[in-house]
A = this chain, B = another copy of it.
Amino acid sequence: MLLRTLYFDGPLSRNELTKVTGLSAATVSSMTGDLLAEQIIVEAGQVDSDGGRPRVLLRVDPSYGYLIGADVAETHVRVELFDLDMTERARVEYALRPARHEPELVARHILAGIDVVLADAGVSAGQVLGVGVGVPGIVGPGPEAVVDAKTFGWDAVPMGALLRSGTQLPLFVDNGAKTMGQAELWFGSGRGAGNAVIVLVGSGVGAAMINDGIAFRGVSSSAGEWGHTKIVAGGRSCRCGGRGCLEAYIGAEAILDRAGVPTGKAGWMEEVSQVLDAGGPVVDETIYYLGVGLGSLINLLNPDRIVIGGWAGLLLGERLLPQIRTAAAENALAQPYAAASIVLGRLGPDAVALGAATLVLEDFLNETPLTSRVTAAG
């Protein structure tokens, strides 16, 4: 936890650490002593004295350990190696042919990728704190990390077990959209917010909710299904079988569909930009419906920040953030709206691997140093 503050609040002197953490100077001194001895943190210059002894700044050593993040996407498996500063040190990508998403193949790619990025960066496996994997679909809790992903034809795939057989490294598996939210929360636009809501608009529509720094997971870890919130009772029909779902208005396919653009053929995603650039009533309506959804979220959850992400969300936000803010204001109560700043995600749609690596980082910052870590995230 001391490590956590040092990590996030940049280089700090021991003295400042006592103020920030509320611990006594004695505790900070001995704890930092241990961390220095273990080489987890290093000294980072001094700060001019203002009359007394100068303060020695401490920071986490970015090369103390490394994190691996994997992004299992529709068209490829990408594996990236990061240092503790989340600077990318190596990456490798394996293309997936359409409809060739066998779990074993994906697992082989990930395992091979781990070896490749380690070799490329000249990092030994012993220095790696763990491997995070972002996959599509729903991930069950526990070390098995059972994955159900309709788009891949995966049904109860024990991704954790598949990978476990090929590596000793600690493993963390979670839904790719959630890892992206995680990345945005820790290193993107959500940084510093205690009550953030990360809104992900892509083909599907989801939300990650943070209350007082703690993620809202729900009883079976499936909280965040924002897309099937009904905003027009009896409205457009949705692929979930219902009518009037938010996703049926602002999901990427829904935008194109309302604009009369077919979504079946390859490359349809490119069309979204064109539709948005063209403007017109379809775009106005999209903003309006997004505002309706955001307004309800603001009322219900009273966040201090809303981060708009997901590839379609970013396309929308880049062009129309002020309009989105206005639409949200018109659909929220004044008091909670005033407390919420609505911002655009900063990491772009490629942050899945970064977010997956963040799962490892989170564990690293939570654990007592030098305890073995062999869990899977739910």
A340 and B218 alpha carbons, distance in the complex (Å): 10
Cβ of A231 within 8 Å of any chain B Cβ, yes or no, is: yes
Give me 26 A-to-B residue pairs in the complex whose CB atoms sit less than 8 angstroms apart, sorted by A's number.
Answer: A195-B218, A211-B214, A212-B214, A212-B217, A216-B216, A216-B301, A218-B301, A218-B302, A218-B303, A218-B339, A219-B302, A219-B303, A220-B302, A220-B335, A223-B300, A223-B301, A225-B302, A226-B299, A228-B299, A231-B231, A232-B232, A232-B233, A233-B235, A233-B288, A233-B292, A242-B331
- Residue of B with least CB distance to A243: B331
Cβ of A76 within 8 Å of any chain B Cβ, yes or no, is: no
Cβ of A55 within 8 Å of any chain B Cβ, yes or no, is: no
* Complex interface bits, A96-114 against B, C-beta within 8 A gives 1, otherwise 0: 0000000000000000000
A285 and B67 alpha carbons, distance in the complex (Å): 53
| Chain B residues closer than 8 Å to A242, beta-carbon distance | 295, 330-331
| Chain B residues closer than 8 Å to A226, beta-carbon distance | 299-300
| Chain B residues closer than 8 Å to A295, beta-carbon distance | 228, 230, 242
A148 and B14 alpha carbons, distance in the complex (Å): 43
Interface residues of A (CB under 8 A from B): 138, 194-195, 207, 209, 211-212, 214, 216-226, 228-233, 235, 240, 242, 288-289, 292, 295-296, 299-304, 330-333, 335-336, 339-340
A212 and B216 alpha carbons, distance in the complex (Å): 8
Give chain B nearest CB distance to A248 CB in angstroms. 12
A228 and B296 alpha carbons, distance in the complex (Å): 7
The residue that A292 contacts in the complex, of B207, B218, B230, B330, with Cβ under 8 A, is B230
